[in-house]
Amino acid sequence: MSDTQAAATRATISSGTLEGIVADGIRRFLGIPYAEPPFGPRRFGLPVAVAPWTGVRDASAFGPTAPQDPYRGAMGELLGSIEIPGEDILTVNVWAPTAIPDAGLPVMIWYHGGALERGTAALSIYDGSTFARDGVVFVSVGYRLGAEGFSVLEGAPLNLGLADAAAAFQWVRREVGAFGGDAERITVVGESAGGAIVAALLMRPDVVDAVAGAVIESGPLEAETAVRAGRVTRQLARRLRVPATAEAFRALPPGRLLEARRIQAAGGSPLGGRPGYALAIDPATLPVSPHIGLAGVAAPLIIGTNTDEYRLWFPPEALAKITRARLLAARMVLRIPGKTVAVYREALPGASPGELLGQLATDRLLRAHAVRGARRRDAPTYLYEFAWPSPVRDLRAAHALEIGFVFDRGLDPDSIRLAGPDAPQSLADRMHGDWVRFIRSGDPGWPAFRPRGDVQIFDVEPSVSSLPRATALDALPA
């Protein structure tokens, strides 16, 4: 290897030297540890800074994935999954162009989704090459999931997966200069649970002042009390016949926790009564719920949802089985008053009970907090709705559909599963380009939401509109 080749494929950070890959003008460094493996005595503890290594560390492959149970059934056919064995799960991956200006490049940190218990940065749809191609240093993050990352246990800190995400952010601030990034121009981006992680990071004093911008795609913004967030842990502990303590859970292998959780969650959904993992309000790790605290964040923000989020959670045959009685029962779970249902019936004439329930869930869980947060903010805020209807399984504009467009990876197998092989490239060009523009400048190129209530609608022909379904949305309880 020549000195020039070695310079391109190697990067030296504070913990040691990395050997990556260079292809098509892009440098890739994968599986870089930002913290020690969170197992053994470190299990259910805060992330510990990685120890330095000697020699040159191979950074040509993704690190192990966090323990998780893959999606099954219809969801499993639509959402990709990868399992990479091993314990070194707290890693980041970096894509950077080979040509770096003296001033450094803007940085994007990506936090993947998966309901806080699934997902991995190793999915091919999250490949950062398209952002690096367009002059952005792209970093994706692995963090603890499920019982390992979001249990509420006596003797353990809360929100361990969020603590991992914060530790990865600080790693990027310290080390991104080695890859050509500017540590003063970091934009944090996430989708679904990753969007919730991004919103929660903005509530942390150790992160928010160092963020140049943020993008929250279909992210739940309401954190729970520790008691409410701990319901899933308490139920899991009862099923395992152990106390809900760090000591008891540490004595069980991760696979045992996953097995019990699989049984516990069988048949569950965002509209059911079975609890899922949630971020917990906590003075040390999450001092305020993001749905309240986003109003005070000074960094510019893109935030939005997809028109038909619920259609990923429920296939058409399941929607068809939802009766008026089921709609009433689910309405109670979602804490939605009957008068609100009447408003939605008027706003969505011809909708079936399943479609009404799905739209109520979309708005109650995701869209209402996004819009209300945008209304309360004085800092630059750009609201969007992704409305392009996928032809696959009548998904329409379902949850997660926009990811392939944001990453400009319409030919990726994970994107094709959701959008089909003929998704409009023009929409990917526009959406990806807007995200890159925002990362560079803090302005995506469409009007800010305030003061006129402008919303960017992403469809075959993108447009700026007033807030869709505003009357129905305003009928939802705060």
Catalytic residues: 192, 309, 399
Contact between residue 305 and residue 195 where contact means Cβ atoms under 8 Å apart = no
Contact between residue 462 and residue 427 where contact means Cβ atoms under 8 Å apart = yes
Q: Which two tokens stand for residue 290?
A: 């993001």
Contact between residue 168 and residue 141 where contact means Cβ atoms under 8 Å apart = yes
Contact between residue 15 and residue 50 where contact means Cβ atoms under 8 Å apart = yes
